[in-house]
Structure 1
Amino acid sequence: MSLPRVVIAAPASGQGKTTVATGLMAALTDRGTRVSPFKVGPDYIDPGYHGLAAGRPGRNLDPFLTGEDLIAPLLLHGSHGADLAVIEGVMGLFDGRLGTGGFASTAHVARLLDAPVILVVDARHASRSIGALVHGMATFDPTVRVAGVILNQVGSPRHAKEARDAVGLPVLGVLPRNLAIEAPSRHLGLVPAAERDDAGIRAIGEAVAAHVDLDAVAALAHTAPAIDALPWDPTAVVRQAGPLRPRVAVAGGRAFTFRYPETEELLVAAGCEPIEFDPLTADALPEDTAALWIGGGFPEMHADRLAANRSLRADIASAVAAGLPTVAECAGLLYLCDSLDGEQMAGALPGTAAMTGRLTMGYREATTERATLLGRPGERVTGHEFHRTATVTTGDPAWLLDGRPDGVASATLSASYLHVHWAGHPRLAQRFADAAHAFAADPTTWAPTPWAAPTPPEKAPAEPDLLHHGDRDLAPGLTDLAVNVRQPHTPDWLVRAITDDADWAAYPDPEPARQAIAAHHGVAAEMVLPVAGAAEAFTLIARAIHGDALVIHPQFTEPEAALLAAGRTPRRHLLRPEEGFRLDPAAVPAAELIVVGNPTNPTGVLHSRDALLALRAGTLVVDEAFLDAVVGEPETLIAPEMPGILVLRSLTKTWALAGIRAGYVVGDPALVASLAAQQPPWSVSSPAVAATVACLAPERAAEAAALALEARVARADLVARLTGIGLDPVEGEAPFVLVDTSPIARHSLRADLADRGLAVRRGETFPGLGPTWLRLAVRDPHTHQRLVEAITQIKEHHAG
């Protein structure tokens, strides 16, 4: 996507970045440019000034808080409808998290966004030496493009000329010394914009317009290349947890000004209705409040007025005590305490808070040893701490901040000094919204969903072998019911196409396959990527699609194996046998990447299109490897428009092509392009290209439909015979059957069946299944009868 953009940086703090950046935003806005304002780092105050200047919310870009992968998507999200983005840096250009080589610095963000940098330099104490300073900043890291300079605090025209002549980059502006345009500060930085009118902002904009070449700044912003990313979408990372729209009371006003815009956007996407109230003036929480969110700010500056609002304090204390889902960050923690600097606060938490002479500031990694409203053991949350107060509280801590206990939390409360950018941790927003939905449904009976801790490692069941496939259960002399290839031999016409039509002497060209796939499904060619089977597709997805991953099991094990091979640890969501392994979208946790099969291998269950679409939280990957074996291919997600969706298909099973490895991906063009960027050259062989073209030719449609009908009849036959001996196969549509043989024996029948000449796929190789489960490929009635007779013999043997 194309977005003109520029980063305003400086050699160090105190050089005038905020003045220049805010002035540029105001000046450009005043002349009709729609400016999207951003701040590098966890700052809340500067974005407030940016918002006043640009007339739209100021937002933050911080790789530590949200991860590197979200920086460009968050920029594009915040720039919707804008003409140009102005991004104010943090500290010195190359200053980031200590000990990390500049991670989360302004330079880091500029690199991630491929944005030109304008360096603001305070010239009060130098003239020609400024040239050396700028030269060093511009050449220190060649991957950062310092493209222009604005000189600030210049004393005279002669001073300006001396400095300008020494600088080897375009000087886009010279600001004279003028304290009237500086924002006032206090103990945590600038005074928040909510406590000032915008007259000062207008004055800063007028000064910048008078002394900076706005046309040159805009021209420089237009040199930024297009961004290869999609805008962040809150509806893709959280889901609505119920039919109601629970009201979330959000503290605001002059005392509570710190919150990221994405927080409320996530709550709205999760089906909530944020309602702002001012703790300085509101008599009570908003009517029908189902959850409470209190962010940061300066309650110490307004402690007397907060204390005087007795009715609200009492309302909040009783609501929190009654289990109202509540999140309080920093200032919110102080307000929930009994007192702050001796002034009475809400009294919802037993403890006191007071100002100190010590500034506590820095990035934090937060963990918890127990389940709370927001936290779960084993999870890591990144955040930021910034305050000059200290609290003395009782109760279990909300977080361990780099191992240090902080705050207070329970199943309905999380109160801590930690500021968290929920765009980087949407599961926290989901948990809070879920609690709000549950409370709104019935506040008299609501209780947090019990959280089941993972089984201790020493008691954990053995992990399935994710690299086990059906061919591993074969052996010479065994009849194959383990491998899901439908035909015993590749059709003659297909063999001829592979051997005669493929140019084996030339490097493979996948384009004919791409065009054939696009024509077959009625989609654009840029939505298609031929691959060397589903295994390659899952490897590409694990490398290209970032973020929190969730695999819905039991299903084909290759997706999880590929994610683990890529150094990622996906979560699992297990479908339950007592529910027929049916998909309940409301029960599936939100994740940035969700993988599910349809029909699912090994259950054979065919999920509805609507249920699958309800899972779209980030990227949804649907493995439709067996859908061409289902009559009419119902519930497919392949369509002319597939935002956020990737569908995998295989030609292996229907056309007996296991040795060729022919498959493809259809989906969102941007996601398909990201997979293609990871694919090695010539991974799809010439025989696979020829096979794809031949199998998807229009004249093969009738044959494919007949094979699907054959599979349906064969499946029904196998199900009937298994049911006839007292087993209960899982209801499904795929050319295989999953059945629990525990009525026969409490162990796997695989070895017993092998002794009788039959190979079956063992269930314990799939997450969520035990050894008594078997997956059986459908074959002919004679083979099915051999199978049930063998199972009957085993049953009689065990009974005897």
Structure 2
Amino acid sequence: MVVAAAASGHGKTTVSTGLMAALTARGLRVAGAKVGPDYIDPGYHSLATGRPGRNLDPWLCGVERISPLLLHGARTPEPADVAVIEGVMGLFDGRIGGDGFASTAHVAAVTRSPVLLVLDVSHLSRTAGALVSGLAHHDPAIRVGGVVLNRVGSARHEEEVRRAVEGTGIPVLGSVPRDAGIEAPSRHLGLVPAAERDEAAAMVRRLGEHIAAHVDLDAVLGLAHSAEPLTEQPWEPADFVTPPDDARRPVVAVAGGRAFTFRYAETEELLCAAGLTPVVFDPLTAPSLPEGTAGLYLGGGFPEVHAVELAANEQLRRQIRAAIEAGMPTVAECAGMLYLCQSVDGRPMVGALPATAEMGPRLSLGYRTASTAVPSVLGPAGTTVTGHEFHRTQMTFPGSPAGPSVQSGSRHVSQLAPSTGAHRVPGWLLDERPDGIALDPAGTGTATVHASYLHTHWAGHPGLAQSFADAVHAHATRSTLDLAHHGDQDLAEGLVDLAVNVRRSAPPTWLADAIAATISSLGAYPQDEGARAAIAERHGVGVESVLPTSGGAEAFTLIARALTPREPLVVHPQFTEPEAALRAAGHRPVRHVLDRRAGFRLDASAVPGSPDLVMLGNPTNPTGVLHSRESLDRLRRPGRILVVDEAFMDAVPGEPESMLATDLTGMLVLRSLTKTWGLAGLRAGYVVGDPSLIARLRAVQPPWSVSTPALAAMVACSSPSAVADAAAEAVVIDSHRASLVAALIAAGLPPVPGSRAPFVLVDTSALSSVSVRQALAARGFAVRRGETFPGLGPTWIRLAVRTPDISAALVAALNGLRRIHVA
């Protein structure tokens, strides 16, 4: 049954909520719903019925979903006996210019529901009959089956009005006298939400008693039971979203409490179906986000009313800002966006957005069509939705030009850091008008923060829920990153290996012979003097500056064990072994993530000054970026140890930026023979650096940890002829990499520019919002997953440089994925 009226203010909410409470008190299970986008009335419905209040809005959800959503609400959490649908505005008032679209009458016709009219008769008597007659006969698709007279002044007044109405042939089912004690108070955006009123539950109970005393409930039930059967299938969230093949259910923190009362019940149901665990927290009182939070949903409400209390919870505000700046997927609608601002009406808020907000004189209200300007946690650029806007606050973006131009694509999205306002990329374009803001504070290539005034109903646009859920799952994976993951774990039988950076399947003959020659001496313990001397001569340093190691892995372990940093810092994205080794030794390193907007190039001035141990790669794995010696030198300072992993430096012709050409004071440089010479199974590498630091590493190195064959390989690979061979191969790698880069650019998938390593890093978000690793494996290629590196998301892949024919076949496979994506 639909409860309607001739206009707003006639008492639809009073009668609807009262009917729900009265029928519930009778022992019936009642499902409540509201026509239109309003959040507040469903809150009162929920108090009256003990089950979630729902919204039925053809504009937000599509006409085809209205009956399924009604049926869903009528069976969740258990089957209901009766559904009471509260209308919106006047019976035939809908979207402006839409000829009644999304009106109460529209929903009544779609759901084939009888209409109960509520008529405020406080200022009329016999004219009530004319109003009822006109409403009942205006549209033959609508069946008005009864009338409730509201705000009746006296018994005589009631008798006069009743005769006029029943003269139309439509029965009066109730006559409700005015009672100001049961009306909900209003403020600048309508009724005060039930969650903000401590006495709301008692008020709803009194309202139910009041309606039961003045309305014929049996007649009302008879009207409801006259509704035509609905043949549609109930809406089911699991039909619209898909969880990953993962037993984990990451937590999405959902703002609630008195300041955040606006959200649709289906939002949380969709998130649950997508494999997440929504947990409601109250920003007014919660000391922290729920444990395990990997995503944040901030809906609507009234933060301006509760600004003092929100500002007082400084601990939570700081935690939320830190989580957002670390790339936590965040959706903030209206009040949620205000909460993320620098301030609201002068009160400090989270500060994650470069904006302030204040109450304004004008109400912004209406249905909107919106689209995303850039890729975000809600979907790719160009994602189009319907929504509604309802607010009196105004946002100010200091330093943002008026009418900013908005470009599509991930390049533009990351122009805005949280602390600046030089560029504003809107969250939505509302009918081409910029609204809100999209941010990528962690430099992932996709806006991880989507904040705007627009309210959307995710049941009408489940792709928003799926995209957000995918982002949360990916963030949860990154947050619990397996730092021990290496490229060989991405291999499988029969796949072309683009995941591992070892460039030879076996060592060259001359090196194999040198290794084989050690077999006759394996009965003796290894002696590393010869290897140290050969490496020292190769790099022009003293032997006291050299330590042979069992590959780079041992070198990082020795550094973590021998050094006792107070505040270690690891520059990411890079090889995960440095951080893994530090953590295994009990250290808790800070991650400094290089900015994708700057091509992952090092800005030494952005690295904090306090860390006493800084570790980074050059050229960096997986970006391939070769940092200048000058920028690395700027990281050096008294009391700090600088560790530079040069595992791929011998693949750069001329090794132009090697730190081995500088003073080694306070520095350790790592080299590997594994990649160039096909020695992954032998493990051969070394450290060159400050003699005092080398001595500390040597003191914790297990005796004879480097084998005799590995030491012989170090001697052989340090010879002038071997160095010349490596230099020649570096030139070939340059040529093969250029072919791969050109093919990727032609395919519309440009890699991170300027790679000088035997691999490239590619963002495949143009093809998919999730990893393409499995899709490429199905086409015969193994690639290294980008999300296994801190600072990168699931759309990134690292590709080892191979011969041009292999590169061409790979790009053909990627183009095949593009065709599937477009289709």
TM-score when normalising by structure 1: 0.56
Kindly tell me the number of residue pairs found equivalent between the two proteins: 471
| Partner Cα distance (1:769, 1:124) in 2 | 61
1:289 partner amino acid: T
| Partner Cα distance (2:326, 2:371) in 1 | 26
Q: 1:430 aligns with which of 466, 471, 489?
A: 466
Q: What secondary structure sits across from 1:256 in the alignment?
A: coil
Q: Does 1:384 align with 2:388?
A: yes
Q: Does 1:364 align with 2:368?
A: yes
State the match for 1:179 in structure 2.
180
Shift of 1:157: 1.1
| Partner Cα distance (1:581, 1:105) in 2 | 51
**What whole-Å deviation, never above 9, does each CA across 1:422-467 have from its counterpart, x for those lacking one?**
001111111111111111112276999x9xxxxxxxxxxxxxxxxx
Q: What secondary structure sits across from 1:300 in the alignment?
A: coil
Higher alpha-carbon Rg? 2
Q: 1:165 aligns with which of 160, 163, 178?
A: 163
Higher deviation after alignment, 19-28 or 357-366: 357-366
Shift of 1:272: 0.4
Q: Does 1:201 align with 2:204?
A: yes
Structure-2 change in CA distance of 1:768 and 1:328 (3 Å): closer
State the match for 1:276 in structure 2.
280
| Partner Cα distance (2:92, 2:470) in 1 | 40
| Partner Cα distance (1:769, 1:426) in 2 | 18
Q: Does 1:33 align with 2:33?
A: no
Higher deviation after alignment, 8-17 or 436-445: 436-445
**What whole-Å deviation, never above 9, does each CA across 1:262-288 have from its counterpart, x for those lacking one?**
000011000101111111111111122
| Partner Cα distance (2:203, 2:769) in 1 | 53
| Partner Cα distance (2:360, 2:154) in 1 | 42
| Partner Cα distance (1:768, 1:371) in 2 | 19
State the match for 2:15 in structure 1.
20
**What whole-Å deviation, never above 9, does each CA across 1:713-749 have from its counterpart, x for those lacking one?**
xxxxxxxxxxxxxxxxxxxxxxxxxxxxx99xx9xxx
Shift of 1:368: 2.1
Structure-2 change in CA distance of 1:328 and 1:577 (3 Å): closer
Q: What secondary structure sits across from 2:387 in the alignment?
A: strand
Q: What secondary structure sits across from 2:306 in the alignment?
A: helix
Structure-2 change in CA distance of 1:581 and 1:85 (3 Å): farther
Q: Does 1:71 align with 2:66?
A: yes
1:227 partner amino acid: L
State the match for 1:466 in structure 2.
none
Q: Is the 8 A contact 2:379 2:463 kept in 1?
A: no
Q: Is the 8 A contact 2:32 2:83 kept in 1?
A: yes
Structure-2 change in CA distance of 1:141 and 1:223 (3 Å): same
| Partner Cα distance (1:338, 1:768) in 2 | 43
1:421 partner amino acid: H
Q: 2:313 aligns with which of 309, 312, 319?
A: 309
State the match for 1:405 in structure 2.
434
Structure-2 change in CA distance of 1:289 and 1:142 (3 Å): same
**What whole-Å deviation, never above 9, does each CA across 1:521-559 have from its counterpart, x for those lacking one?**
xxxxxxxxxxxxxxxxxxxxxxxxxxxxxxxxxxxxxxx
Q: Is the 8 A contact 2:371 2:430 kept in 1?
A: yes
**How do 1:471-490 and structure 2 match up within 5 A?**
none
Q: Does 1:296 align with 2:300?
A: yes
| Partner Cα distance (1:67, 1:577) in 2 | 33
Q: What secondary structure sits across from 1:79 in the alignment?
A: helix
Q: Is the 8 A contact 2:371 2:383 kept in 1?
A: yes
Q: 1:7 aligns with which of 2, 6, 13?
A: 2
State the match for 2:142 in structure 1.
144
| Partner Cα distance (1:25, 1:415) in 2 | 35
Q: Is the 8 A contact 1:7 1:116 kept in 2?
A: yes
Structure-2 change in CA distance of 1:373 and 1:181 (3 Å): same
Q: 1:319 aligns with which of 298, 318, 323?
A: 323
**How do 1:257-272 and structure 2 match up within 5 A?**
257-272=261-276
Q: Does 1:211 align with 2:214?
A: yes
Structure-2 change in CA distance of 1:127 and 1:352 (3 Å): same
**What whole-Å deviation, never above 9, does each CA across 1:739-787 have from its counterpart, x for those lacking one?**
xxx99xx9xxxxxxxxxxxxxxxxx9x96699xxxxxxxxxxxxxxxxx
State the match for 1:96 in structure 2.
94
State the match for 2:240 in structure 1.
237
Shift of 1:375: 3.8
Shift of 1:373: 1.7
State the match for 1:396 in structure 2.
425
| Partner Cα distance (2:158, 2:361) in 1 | 40
Q: What secondary structure sits across from 2:304 in the alignment?
A: helix
Shift of 1:377: 2.8
Shift of 1:200: 0.5
| Partner Cα distance (1:52, 1:277) in 2 | 19
Shift of 1:572: 14
Shift of 1:54: 0.7
Structure-2 change in CA distance of 1:289 and 1:576 (3 Å): closer
Structure-2 change in CA distance of 1:230 and 1:349 (3 Å): same
Q: Is the 8 A contact 1:23 1:206 kept in 2?
A: yes
State the match for 1:652 in structure 2.
none
| Partner Cα distance (2:383, 2:253) in 1 | 27
| Percent identity of equivalent pairs | 61
Q: Is the 8 A contact 1:575 1:581 kept in 2?
A: no
Q: What secondary structure sits across from 1:119 in the alignment?
A: strand
2:234 partner amino acid: P
State the match for 1:224 in structure 2.
227
Q: CA RMSD in A?
A: 3.0
Higher deviation after alignment, 78-87 or 387-396: 387-396
| Partner Cα distance (1:581, 1:109) in 2 | 49
State the match for 2:85 in structure 1.
87
| Partner Cα distance (1:340, 1:289) in 2 | 25
Q: Does 1:343 align with 2:351?
A: no
Q: What secondary structure sits across from 2:268 in the alignment?
A: helix
